[in-house]
Structure 1
Amino acid sequence: MNLFNGVSRRPRRLLLAAGLMLGLPVLPLQAQDLLIRNANVHTASTQGSLPHHDVLVRDGRITAIGSGLAAPAGASVVEAEGLPLTPALFGGITEIGIEEVSGESETNDSAVSLANQQPMRPEFDVTLAYNPDSVLVPVARVGGIGFTLLGATTGGSFVAGQGGVMRLDGGSDPIGSRVLFIRLGAKAAELSGNSRAAQWMLLQQMVDEARGRMPADSPHALLTAAGRRTLAAFLDGRGRIMFEVNRAADISQLLRWAAREKVSIAIAGGAEAWRVAPQLAAAKVPVFVDGLADLPSNFDQIGATLENAARLDAAGVAVSFSQFSDASHNARKIRQHAGNAVAHGLPWEKGLAALTRVPAQALGVEDLIGSIAVGRQADLVLWSGDPLDVINSARQMWLGGRAIPMRSRQTELRDRYLQSPRPRDQGGLPPAYRP
Structure 2
Amino acid sequence: MTMLLAGLASFSVFAQDVLIRNATVHTATDRGTLRNADVLVQGGRIAAIGSGLSADAALVIDAQGRPLTPAFFGGITGIGIEEVSGEASTRDVSLALGEGAKDITVRPEFDVTLAYNPESILLPVARVEGIGFTLLTASSTAGGSIIGGQGAVVRLDGSPDPSGPKVLFVALGSGASNLSGSSRAGQWMLLDQLVAEANGRMSADSGFALLTPAGRATLQRYLGNGGRIVVEVDRAADIRQLLRWSQKHALKIAISGGAEAWKLAPQIAAAGVPVFLDPLVNLPGNFDRIGATLENAARLRAAGVRVGFTQSGDASHNARKVRQLAGNAVANGLPWEDGLAGLTRVPAETFGVGDRLGTIAVGKTADLVLWSGDPLDVANVAEQVWLGGRAIPMRSRQTELRDRYLRAEPSAEAGALPRAYPARVE
TM-score (norm 1): 0.93
In structure 1, the partner of 2:139 is 153
Change (3 A) 1:18 1:55: closer
Compared CA separation, residues 349 and 69, structure 1 to 2 (3 A): same
Query: 8 Å contact 2:104–2:179 — kept in the other structure?
Result: no
Of 18, 30, 33, the residue aligned with 1:46 is: 30
Query: For residues 305 and 211 of structure 1, do their structure 2 counterparts lie closer, same or farther at Cα, with a shift above 3 Å needed?
Result: same
Which digits, 9 at most, give the CA deviation of each residue in 1:408-435, with x for residues without a partner?
Answer: 00000111111223533323434469xx
Give secondary structure in 2 for the equivalent of 1:120.
coil
- For 1:351 and 1:425, the matched residues in 2 are separated by 52
Residue aligning to 2:344: 356
Q: 2:220 aligns with which of 211, 232, 239?
A: 232
Q: Number of residues paired by the alignment?
A: 416
1:373 aligns with 2:369: no
Report the AA paired with residue 37 of structure 1: R
User: Contact between 1:113 and 1:157, CA under 8 Å: does it hold in 2?
Assistant: no
Whole-Å separation in 2 of the counterparts to 1:398 and 1:432: 47
Distance 2:212 2:321 in 1: 39
The AA in structure 1 aligned to 2:192 is Q
- Aligned residue in 2 for 1:6: none
Structure 1 position 330 matched with structure 2 position 318: yes
2:228–2:254 Cα contact (<8 Å) kept:
yes
Distance 2:183 2:84 in 1: 32
**Separation of aligned partners in 2, 1:26 and 1:423:** 36
Matched letter for residue 221 of structure 1: A
Tell me the distance in 1 between the aligned counterparts of 2:413 and 2:366.
51
Q: Which residue of 1 aligns with 2:89?
A: 106
Name whichever of 170-179 and 54-63 sits farther off: 170-179
- Pairwise mapping of residues 135-284 of structure 1 onto structure 2 (< 5 A)? 135-154=121-140, 155-284=143-272
Report deviation, 1:172: 1.1
In 2, the alpha carbon distance for the partners of 1:218 and 1:283 equals 35
| 1:25/1:132 contact within 8 Å kept | no
Measure, in 2, the Cα distance between the counterparts of 1:208 and 1:314: 37
Q: Residues of 2 paired with 1:17 and 1:315: CA distance? A: 46
| Matched ranges for 1:87-126 at <5 A | 87-115=70-98, 117-126=103-112
Letter in 2 for 1:80: A
Partner secondary structure for residue 208 of structure 1: helix
The alpha-carbon distance between structure 1 residues 254 and 131, as it changes in their structure 2 partners (threshold 3 A), is same
- Offset from partner CA, 1:125-179 (integer Å, 9 cap, x none): 0000000000000000011000000101112211100000000010011122111
Q: Secondary structure at the match of 1:77?
A: strand
Change (3 A) 1:390 1:432: farther
Cα distance, 1:18 vs. partner? 3.9
Q: Percent identity?
A: 64
* Residue 306 to residue 17, structure 1, CA distance change in 2 (3 Å): closer
Q: Is the 8 A contact 2:154 2:164 kept in 1?
A: no
Instruction: Return 5+ residue gaps in structure 1 as ranges.
Output: 1-13
After superposition, the C-alpha distances for 1:287-307 in whole angstroms (9 at most, x for unaligned) are 001111010110000000000
3-state SS in 2 of match to 1:122:
coil
Could you tell me whether the CA contact under 8 Å between 2:84 and 2:91 is conserved in 1? yes
TM-score by length of 2: 0.95
1:69 counterpart residue number: 53
Cα distance in structure 2, aligned partners of 1:118 and 1:250 = 21
Shift in Å at residue 114 of structure 1? 2.7
Matched AA of 2:339: G
Aligned to 1:59: 43
Give the superposition deviation at 1:66: 0.4
**What's the RMSD between the two structures over aligned residues?**
1.5
1:421 match: secondary structure:
coil
Q: CA deviation at 1:115?
A: 4.3
Contact 2:128/2:382, CA 8 A, preserved across alignment: yes
Amino acid at match of 2:367: D
Instruction: Using the TM superposition, give the Cα deviation of residue 216 of structure 1 relative to its aligned residue in structure 2, in angstroms.
Output: 1.6
Q: 2: distance between equivalents of 1:29 and 1:16?
A: 16
Deviation per CA, 1:159-211: give whole Å up to 9, x if none: 10000000001001112211100000000011111000001001110000000
**CA shift for structure 1 position 238:** 2.9
Q: Post-superposition shift, 1:334? A: 0.2
CA distance in 1, matches of 2:423, 2:129: 36
How far apart are the structure 1 equivalents of 2:65 and 2:158?
A: 30
Deviation, 1:352, is 0.4
Does residue 397 (structure 1) correspond to residue 380 (structure 2)? The answer is: no
Match of 1:78 among 61, 64, 88: 61
1:29 match: 13
Report the secondary structure of 1:62's partner residue.
strand
- The CA deviation string for residues 349-403 of structure 1, in whole angstroms up to 9 with x for no partner, is 1100110001111112111000000000000000000000000000000000000
> CA 1:286/1:304 → structure 2, altered by over 3 Å: closer, same or farther?
same
1:424 alignment partner in structure 2: 412
Q: Is the 8 A contact 1:123 1:162 kept in 2?
A: yes
Give the equivalent residue in structure 2 for 1:5: none
SS in 2 for 1:305: coil
- The 2-side partners of 1:235 and 1:31 are apart by 42
Is the CA contact 2:132–2:155 (under 8 Å) kept in the aligned structure 1?
yes
Check 1:274–1:391 CA distance in 2 against 1; reply closer, same or farther (3 A cut): same
Amino acid at match of 1:345: G
Task: Quote the residue 1:9 is aligned against.
Answer: none
Structure-1 separation of matches of 2:425 and 2:150: 53
C-alpha displacement of 1:118? 4.9
Q: Check the 8 A contact 2:105/2:144 in 1, yes or no.
A: no
The 2-side partners of 1:183 and 1:127 are apart by 19
